Amino acid sequence: MDEQTLIRKMSRVGVLGNIVLAAFKLIAGILGKSGAMVSDAVHSLSDVLATIIAYIGVKLAGQEEDAEHPYGHERFECVASLILGLILAGTGLGIGYNGVKMLLFEKSAIEVPTILPLIAAIVSIAVKEGMFWYTMHYARILDSPAFKADAWHHRSDALSSVGSFIGIGLARLGFPFMDPIASILICALILKVAYDILKDALNKMLDTSCDATYEGKLRSFILEQPGVLGIDLLHTRQFGNKIYVDLEITVQRDITLVYAHAIAEHVHSNVEKNFPNVKHIMIHVNPEPAKD
């Protein structure tokens, strides 16, 4: 399956799945007298927008380089992830606000939920956890931050449904105030996921370096290449889902320029071949120090 077909397939599953699930949970929440389930339905509805944004971000990021964007368009995925994180945070705050308002100012309006929203919570947990693993599997194949964020959107919905299940269950056992408390817990879970998504997107927009483990593997690989005597400088920076590398290597001081260039070209091609995320590596060649 080619990349574009995969992206369309993931988007269809995300949009249609969330629309059906949101409608089911909204009806169950209204008929079953559960504010927590209504909040959960709103969260699922926000996932529809999240999937659409992820799709647009990935499509824009896949555009070829042009005169105005010689380094490509990969950062569109970071922009999409930022928007997804903000939507998720806004959804969480809205759910939390409704829970607090119900708990503090509308206690008399709190009703004991029926069995229907409890069933809806179980269905939602199963469906959304399945959608998380489905989306994350293909997001890793595509190495797409936007679809990874979308996958976590699904996981946060599954977690919110767990909170709904607990709150609704306790409400039915004689603790009706637990239903709005469940909404507040759902808010906290959603905000944590939103924070993680926003942090990752900002790191990739600010040319943050790769972690020490990745740079260690890259350094070891380069040192194994023929003609490389040492590494004087190694800088990495994340550009969307791609990585740019600035490298200075040491070679024998008495070789020809042609030979030094051949060493650099060999390192260049092998790094980009063996580290697929590396979009480009810029190599500067330094002669080894003169011997006394």
Question: Do residues 185 and 55 share a domain?
Answer: yes
pLDDT digits (tens, 9 = 90+) for 25-67: 889 888 888 877 887 787 777 777 777 777 777 777 777 777 7
The span from the CA of 31 to the CA of 148, in Å, is 34
Cα–Cα distances in Å, from 30 out to 127, 128, 140, 166, 200?
20, 21, 37, 18, 36
What's the first-to-final CA gap in the chain, in angstroms? 60
217: in domain: yes
Question: Do residues 117 and 258 share a domain?
Answer: no
DSSP 70-125: TT-STHHHHHHHHHHHHHHHHHHHHHHHHHHHHHHH-GGG-----HHHHHHHHHHH
The pLDDT value given to residue 109: 58
149: in domain: yes
Residue with tokens 């972690």: 211
Query: Token pair for residue 72?
Result: 């490509």
Question: Do residues 56 and 123 share a domain?
Answer: yes
Question: Do residues 223 and 182 share a domain?
Answer: no
Cα angle for residues 238, 214, 244 (degrees, 5° grid):
30
- The H or E element spanning position 278 is strand 278-287
Nearest of 247, 100, 72 to residue 179 by alpha carbon: 100
Question: Do residues 103 and 72 share a domain?
Answer: yes
Q: Which residues contact 51 (CB under 8 A, 6 or more apart)?
A: 10, 11, 14, 15, 18, 150, 153
Task: Residue 102: give its domain's CATH number.
Answer: 1.20.1510.10
Of 9-23, 72-86, 99-113, 257-271, give the range with the top mean pLDDT.
Answer: 257-271
pLDDT digits (tens, 9 = 90+) for 132-150: 999 888 888 887 777 887 8
Last residue of a domain, one of 205, 226, 242: 205
How far, in whole angstroms, is CA 162 from its chain's centroid?
21
Question: Exposure of 160 by Cβ count < 10 A (0-12 exposed, 13-18 middle, 19+ buried)?
Answer: buried
Question: Do residues 171 and 247 share a domain?
Answer: no
Percent residues over pLDDT 90 in the chain: 23
Task: Residue 248: give its domain's CATH number.
Answer: 3.30.70.1350
pTM over the 0.95 mark? no
Last residue of a domain, one of 188, 205, 222: 205
**What's the average model confidence in pLDDT over 75-95?**
81
Inform me whether the pLDDT recorded for 170 exceeds 70: yes
Last residue of a domain, one of 165, 188, 205: 205
Residue with tokens 């469906």: 127
| Counted domains in the chain | 2
What band does 1 get if pLDDT is binned at 50, 70 and 90?
A: low
Reading phi first (left if > 0) and then psi (alpha if -120 to 50, else beta), residue 57 is in alpha
Task: Provide the residue range defining the domain that includes 238.
Answer: 212-287
Nearest of 123, 126, 107, 101 to residue 171 by alpha carbon: 107
Question: Do residues 132 and 236 share a domain?
Answer: no
Inform me whether the pLDDT recorded for 93 exceeds 80: yes
292: in domain: no
Residue 130: how many other CB atoms lie within 10 Å: 14
Q: Residue 173 has what DSSP assignment?
A: T
Inform me whether the pLDDT recorded for 248 exceeds 90: yes
The span from the CA of 287 to the CA of 234, in Å, is 16
